[in-house]
Amino acid sequence: MARLKENQYKEFPLQNLRKPILFVVDMINGFIKEGSLHDEAILDISKNIENLLKKIDASIFICDGHAPDSKEFCSYPLHCVKGTAESEVIEELRPYVKTRIYKNSTNTFMSPSFQDLLPTLKNHKDIILTGCCTDLCILQFALSLNSWLNEHNYKEQRVIVPVDCVDTYDIESIHDAKRWNFFSLKNMETNGILVVSKIGDQYE
């Protein structure tokens, strides 16, 4: 679960989802298990994501996959070069990979591979975003995607972010995970994203 001082969001019933599609963003070795930007604590959300993957048929994994000379390395340390172990889905979620696309920036929406998928999103009413990092890849993806839905007046579609399935990294005195999770989730909520504590079956 996203590290927060207090989780003020409400649970969303699984049975209330409408033609959902689940995106799993950057649950890869380079952000969780190894490399310059990894935080092993993010692994804690993998079980919650796995539970959703078992219940939602349509899913797409998003993986950082940079060229060795990626412009992003001007802002961040070398990480998740395509073809290396860092850019691969963690072993805990690998059995659930059906479709995977790679991105060369923090924003999935900008990936040409994702742009190719945009027309198919009209077949789904609920678009669920999970993974890391809450204040970077999740935030940018959610805001861009919701803006696109607004621009095209797709009123029936919702972007949903379950708090128990997202998290960001923590570096003492540099990047406080609780603080950044809080502000990012509030930002998304303010901008029309449906932020919920979890997507669960109330009869479990």
Residue of 186 and 36 predicted with greater confidence: 186
Q: Check whether 149 has a pLDDT greater than 80.
A: yes
Structural domains in the chain, CATH included, are 12-200 (3.40.50.850)
Residue 203 has a pLDDT of 42
Residue 125 has a pLDDT of 97
SS3 assignment, position 112: helix
pLDDT in tens, 61-117: 999 999 999 999 898 888 999 999 999 999 999 999 999 999 999 999 999 999 999
Band the pLDDT of 204: cuts 50, 70, 90: very low
CB 37 within 8 A of CB 31: yes
Neighbours of 97 (CB within 10 A): 16
Mean pLDDT across the stretch 6-28?
Answer: 94
Residue 150 has a pLDDT of 96
Which residue stretches of 23-125 are H helix? 29-32, 46-55, 112-117
CB 161 within 8 A of CB 181: no
β strands within the chain, DSSP E = 12-13, 20-25, 59-64, 100-103, 126-132, 158-162, 166-167, 194-196, 199-200
Mean pLDDT across the stretch 114-139?
Answer: 96
Distances (CA, A) of 49 to 32, 165, 202: 14, 6, 17
Q: Is the pTM for the entire model greater than 0.75?
A: yes
Nearest to 21 by CA among 202, 177, 145, 106: 145
Residue 78 has a pLDDT of 85
